[in-house]
Structure 1
Amino acid sequence: MTAKVKVKPVHPWFLSGWAKWSIFLFGVALYLQTLTYDYTLDDAIVIYENQYTTSGFKGIGGILGHDTFYGFFKEAGKSQLVSGGRYRPLSLILFAIEWQLFGRSPGSGHALNLLLYGLLCLMVYLAMERLLAPTVQPRIRYPAAWITAILFAAHPVHTEAVANIKGMDEILALLGCLFALYLAFKQIPGHRNVLFAGLVFLLGMLAKENAITWVVVVPLAYLLLGNQRLMNSIRFSWPWLAAAALYLIIRQSVLESGDGQPVMELMNNPFLKWNGSGYVPMSLSESLGTTGVTWLQYLRLMVFPHPLTHDYYPRQIAIHTMTSPAALAGWLLYLAMAAGTIYFWKRQKVVSFGLAYYLVTFSIVSNLVIPIGTNMSERFLFMPGLGLLLIAGYYWAVWIAESSSRMPWVFFGLLVLAFSMKTVVRNTAWKDNFTLFKTDIAVSSNSAKLNNALGGELSVQAAKLTDETRRNEMLNQAIPLLQKALEIHPTYRNALLLLGNTYFYLARYE
């Protein structure tokens, strides 16, 4: 049941092309500054140090036939050093085409990301409008979809996915899912578009495997917002199920099977702890408690996205047990969201769907279903966060419809302005690796990985300098960072190597 409001005609602006163009242009404009930025972080793995990507058109066969990271590690088995195994060929194929056309050009990569993000923001609007069409009156539906899309475009937590070229996999995955949903809901029931929707959904999964959660999202969408019975919801979802099965078959045939043993390297398994002589798995209370704390952090970031950082590696998130208040709060909030999905099932279907969508798409990155190799990451909110934004957009539209004043739009404008300013400021951190590491160490000071990364960057850059004073200054800045990395992670081999190199550059051989 939707909120009861007086039925009024849709404002003509929402039916015009300007409503759509405003979303696309807004999404692009927020990230224009990134066009001059360099490669960062895992761009090396998937772009400029990947043997298949840098082979252009000739490398596409290798991309399709191997783990996503194989072209970087260049040796069978080494891609398994990173938890899970990855088959995400779609973005790498685009990177290979881009390399063929432009060579090493981070600017072209950022430009493509901007265009795709603008299209994604537009697709958020189109898909949400179609999704709400069977149950929500136009007076509310169009503003709700537009507000949701604008909030999505402006939300600062998306900077990691957009300002980092490698984040194209996140953009493509959600774009594929939303386009498929739009096609499936274009005419209900049983339109031939659902078959094409299945093919588009397959492309979404080939961008990033978290898209597979939509095999649950789509039946829920038919059931809650499509006014379909349970059996019809399942029957209309068969192209999605078939696409998911095909993806899993392809993925299984390409990826190497692991040995089934837990990863015992802290940088790839945050659920280890140091016992004085080596690493051992956390207790169940510790792993569940630490996970609960990250869940709480995700919700905080959706509501109040500050401060932001790209790094939540150990021990930026400290070890917690289930007796920790923060851990209990995280678990209780998510249990409440699950209960809310049921409570609002008949009472308020938009809320029920939004909560269910968040929980389903979040499950695959929650560290509860499968280990993901890190405690958390802001980019993991890119897909799930849309469910909460849909709820916000819907109720904002209801408020606008019921209000005779401009206050709802004033508050909306202030929120979008605040989000936009935060996004533009946060973008500056992604200029290059050195800028990113220097910026985020203020937030992630307890991350072994970031202390190692910044210390290593200082050491490597210092070694290239001819100004001895500046050189020694940077080398001495690197030492405490690398020492802290080793304090957090005593067997961190890369930190040991970089620290040794730094002492060598300073001629400190003792």
Structure 2
Amino acid sequence: MDNSTKYITISVAAFVCYCNTLWGTFVFDDSEAIVKNKDVMLHTPLRDIFRNDFWGTDITLNISHKSYRPLTILSYRLNVLYSNNKLDAFQFHATNVILYGVLCLITVTVFELFLKKSKYATNVHDIAYYSALLFTVHPVHTEPVAGLVGRADILSSVLFFLVLLMYQKYRNATGEIVLFWFVMFILMTGCAVLCKETAISILGMLIIYDIYREKRRSTSWWDLLTFWNLLKYMTIISCGLVIMYYRFKVMNFEGPIFTTNDNPAAFSDSFITRLFTYNYLYLLNFLLLLWPQWLCFDWSMGCVPLIESLCDKRVIFVICFWIVTAYAAYTLFKKNLDNAVLDARIMGVSLMLLPFLPASNIVFTVGFVVAERTLLLPSAGFCLLVVIGLKKLERKYHDNRKVLA
């Protein structure tokens, strides 16, 4: 199958999956972020977008949710502009579907980037295509595409992958053009953060990707710790710290104020309750990727009861989840260490974990229980791992048939 056919197939799949959303209205959080948000309308001064939070409230106030996404709000204003200063839900939804299609197409190139330097290099294009197609039709994307507030996730994800592609350009560049690509991927990172804060995780992804590309059989782990590599990583980290400093400065270095309904586990006095509830939520998120039968636009208001006792039967599932995760991590890292080279599964796992980290309650407390929109990027890593696994099974099946023959 040629590239044009692959891209057309993915584009059609994205449209078919979400064309029914085009005639939807403004629902749930859309009413607060768009319909009631004065910053979306053209009569509001443009500078107010950069002073207020995602919901149109002065971000310096205590009542603000501190979500600072001015570029996402700017995209809403463009919809209003092209609708003759009206809130045309059709155009808003059409923009979401188009952006989602763009995201799905970009994943093909990103997956190919991950696969070119791996033992799966002979099937690069097939694995990348099937991974992108699986990503396109994954049901967990329903919330970010069908819900207009999910545009923040789609936009930041598009820029997240563009930063990765620009970083590869930076790695391959020589001479004066090196500085250009460095400035470009740092500026693009800043734009991604201005679409949604969680996009800052791309900087960690860049460091892992760089190590992944540098590690070869002839290169020991210690050889990676060269002066120039360390300088490069410290520069990336420093740029990330600068971006986050100004991000926190905008909100006066004050965090949002959440209620018990937003995140019940965070308000529990019991460490055991928080530990097991949070880990149960991680399990739920993984199950949504593996078996998305419980899709819900709002997981608050007691949808997931706290695990307040070790006698709760869900504790067994959490412990099993720990065991399976630990075994999988041990097996993966052992194989990579024994082979003295990293393979594409490392990038798949990193893509699953790093973008999800800001939503994990580990770095800071979040204002939700489960949010399917936070799984948009992690699902890309998951889809890549699934297809790699299926290809591996297919290869074993054919090898066994040859032996039997």
For 2:124 and 2:334, the matched residues in 1 are separated by 22
Is 1:158 the counterpart of 2:141 in the alignment?
Answer: yes
Alignment of 1:119-134 (within 5 A): 119-134=102-117
Residue 112 of structure 2 aligns with an amino acid whose one-letter code is: E
Name 2:221's counterpart in structure 1.
Answer: none
For 1:135 and 1:265, the matched residues in 2 are separated by 47
Residue from 32, 46, 51 that aligns with 2:33: 46
> Shift of the alpha carbon at 1:153?
0.5
Which of 365-374 and 151-160 deviates more? 365-374
- For the structure 1 residues 87 and 345, does the alpha-carbon distance in structure 2 shift closer, same or farther, using more than 3 Å as the test? farther
Which of 374-383 and 389-398 deviates more? 389-398
Is 1:325 the counterpart of 2:319 in the alignment?
Answer: no
| Conserved? CA contact 1:140–1:398, under 8 Å | no
Name 1:204's counterpart in structure 2.
Answer: 192
Residue from 41, 54, 61 that aligns with 2:47: 61
Residue 195 of structure 2 aligns with an amino acid whose one-letter code is: A
Residue from 61, 84, 97 that aligns with 1:77: 61
For 1:370 and 1:243, the matched residues in 2 are separated by 20
Provide the secondary structure at the position in 1 that maps to 2:292: coil
Name 2:343's counterpart in structure 1.
Answer: 349
For 1:257 and 1:212, the matched residues in 2 are separated by 17
For 1:74 and 1:39, the matched residues in 2 are separated by 23
Name 1:110's counterpart in structure 2.
Answer: 93
| Conserved? CA contact 1:219–1:233, under 8 Å | no
Unaligned runs of 5+ in 1: 1-12, 273-279, 406-510
Is 1:359 the counterpart of 2:359 in the alignment?
Answer: no
Name 1:303's counterpart in structure 2.
Answer: 290
For 1:345 and 1:353, the matched residues in 2 are separated by 12
- For the structure 1 residues 392 and 264, does the alpha-carbon distance in structure 2 shift closer, same or farther, using more than 3 Å as the test? closer
Is 1:250 the counterpart of 2:235 in the alignment?
Answer: no
- For the structure 1 residues 166 and 108, does the alpha-carbon distance in structure 2 shift closer, same or farther, using more than 3 Å as the test? same
Name 2:365's counterpart in structure 1.
Answer: 371
Unaligned runs of 5+ in 2: 217-223, 400-405
TM-score by length of 2: 0.84
Deviations 1:444-490 (A, max 9, x none): xxxxxxxxxxxxxxxxxxxxxxxxxxxxxxxxxxxxxxxxxxxxxxx
- For the structure 1 residues 402 and 283, does the alpha-carbon distance in structure 2 shift closer, same or farther, using more than 3 Å as the test? closer
| Conserved? CA contact 1:131–1:182, under 8 Å | no
Residue 161 of structure 2 aligns with an amino acid whose one-letter code is: L
For 1:137 and 1:293, the matched residues in 2 are separated by 34
For 1:242 and 1:74, the matched residues in 2 are separated by 28
For 2:326 and 2:364, the matched residues in 1 are separated by 19
TM-score by length of 1: 0.67
| Conserved? CA contact 1:338–1:356, under 8 Å | no
Aligned residues: 377
For 1:187 and 1:76, the matched residues in 2 are separated by 37
For 1:242 and 1:76, the matched residues in 2 are separated by 25
Identity in percent: 21
| Conserved? CA contact 1:295–1:331, under 8 Å | no
Deviations 1:346-389 (A, max 9, x none): 34622233223322222211122211112212112112222221
Name 1:508's counterpart in structure 2.
Answer: none
Root-mean-square deviation (CA, aligned residues, Å) is: 2.8
Alignment of 1:251-330 (within 5 A): 251-258=247-254, 263=257, 265-271=259-265, 281-321=268-308, 323=310, 324-330=315-321
For 2:231 and 2:334, the matched residues in 1 are separated by 25
- For the structure 1 residues 189 and 320, does the alpha-carbon distance in structure 2 shift closer, same or farther, using more than 3 Å as the test? same
> Shift of the alpha carbon at 1:76?
5.4
Alignment of 1:408-423 (within 5 A): none
Residue 318 of structure 2 aligns with an amino acid whose one-letter code is: A
Residue 328 of structure 1 aligns with an amino acid whose one-letter code is: I
For 1:175 and 1:75, the matched residues in 2 are separated by 25
For 1:178 and 1:22, the matched residues in 2 are separated by 20
Is 1:146 the counterpart of 2:134 in the alignment?
Answer: no
Is 1:91 the counterpart of 2:72 in the alignment?
Answer: yes
For 2:257 and 2:250, the matched residues in 1 are separated by 21
Name 1:168's counterpart in structure 2.
Answer: 151
Please identify runs of 4+ aligned residues in structure 1 that moved more than 6 A. Answer: 401-405
Residue 205 of structure 2 aligns with an amino acid whose one-letter code is: V
For 1:181 and 1:389, the matched residues in 2 are separated by 18
| Conserved? CA contact 2:18–2:146, under 8 Å | yes
* Bigger Rg, structure 1 or 2: 1
> Shift of the alpha carbon at 1:88?
1.3
- For the structure 1 residues 338 and 55, does the alpha-carbon distance in structure 2 shift closer, same or farther, using more than 3 Å as the test? farther
- For the structure 1 residues 36 and 353, does the alpha-carbon distance in structure 2 shift closer, same or farther, using more than 3 Å as the test? same
> Shift of the alpha carbon at 1:174?
1.1
Name 1:439's counterpart in structure 2.
Answer: none
Which of 375-384 and 340-349 deviates more? 340-349
Provide the secondary structure at the position in 1 that maps to 2:14: helix
Which of 384-393 and 102-111 deviates more? 384-393
> Shift of the alpha carbon at 1:391?
1.4
Alignment of 1:434-449 (within 5 A): none
Residue 49 of structure 1 aligns with an amino acid whose one-letter code is: K
- For the structure 1 residues 27 and 127, does the alpha-carbon distance in structure 2 shift closer, same or farther, using more than 3 Å as the test? same
> Shift of the alpha carbon at 1:129?
0.7
